[in-house]
Amino acid sequence: MEHSRPRLARTVAAVRKFVAEHRSQGQQIGLVPTMGALHAGHLSLVQAAKDRGDVVVVSIFVNPLQFAPTEDLDSYPRDLDTDLALLGTAGVAVVFHPDPASFTPALAATTVHVADLTDGLEAVTRPLHFDGVTTIVTKLFNAVGPDRAYFGQKDFQQQAIIRRMVADLNMGVEIISCPLVREPDGLAMSSRNAYLSKTEREQAVALSRALRELRDRWDGDAAAQRRWLRDALVDAPGVTLDYAEIIDPGTLAPLEGTHPGPAQAVVAAYVGPTRLIDTISLKEGPPDAAGS
């Protein structure tokens, strides 16, 4: 079905005005925060919001606060026209695309920091990354005022941190975590996959292949299975392992010994210069608790 292009809000005042118009008609608002260069993983979050009957607001903002100086802020893929066309077809009402100079001014003095959950995994290689994420997500929540916000389980640590932040600070936004969407051969969809050469693209499948094999062989022996996972990835051609962990999906703590309960495997690895992450549930936990 053809849809018109979404309305484009470039300022906080503009997005508030658009959202207020929808609210005055009794509609609820679902926010999907993204950095653009959209793919089917992002669109699955939009669909989840539509399935709940939300008016969908997508933010597109390459957040400078979550990139270290050595990382790929400048080269991160940006294609607003294609994104707007995709979001129009997907039936999105409003796109919030603020200007970095005004949305993240250099003189800002406030950071939102979530302790503990931000200590390991991604944070070892990217120590300030999550402060950048939680600060910007707070700003997006304050700008848009959504009833619900949708995040991908692909960024497993991120969605746990945001859930915790929302609960700790009584943000009143319901957090919905959506399943990871993969390419047909298993590679986790990511805007950064565009960086991969043909050979690297083939090598990158090693991550999802190892995770699927791990899920099939999971017997609760966390130490032995983690060793197996690390060996599988260290041996994979073209892959340089950053970390491979088996964690409690609620606390994100690495599992030790034999563990009959819920378990999640998380990995990060470089394929060529590109850093990729992937994750799989080895044993499901209780259903997601809603943020409050």
* Residues of this chain that bind ligand AMP (CB under 6 A): 34-35, 41-42, 44-45, 151-152, 154-155, 178, 180-181, 188-191
**Residue among 117 and 188 whose Cβ is closer to ligand AMP:** 188
> 145: closest CA among 246, 1, 16?
16
- Give 121 or 222: the residue with its C-beta nearer to ligand AMP: 121
Nearer to ligand AMP, 63 or 225 (CB): 63
Q: Cβ 102 to ligand AMP, closest distance in Å?
A: 20
Active-site pick, 42, 97, 129, 259: 42
Catalytic residue check, 39: no
Min. distance of Cβ 74 from ligand AMP in angstroms?
A: 16
- Shortest CB 257 distance to ligand AMP, Å: 30
Q: Whats the size of the chain, residue-wise?
A: 292
Assess contact for 213 and 232: CB atoms under 8 A: yes
**Which lies closer to ligand AMP via its Cβ, residue 208 or residue 225?**
208
CB within 8 A of 265, min separation 6: which ones? 211, 214, 215, 229, 244, 245, 246, 247, 279, 280, 282
CB of 161 to ligand AMP, least distance (A): 12
Least Å from the CB of residue 24 to ligand AMP: 28
Q: What residues act catalytically? A: 42
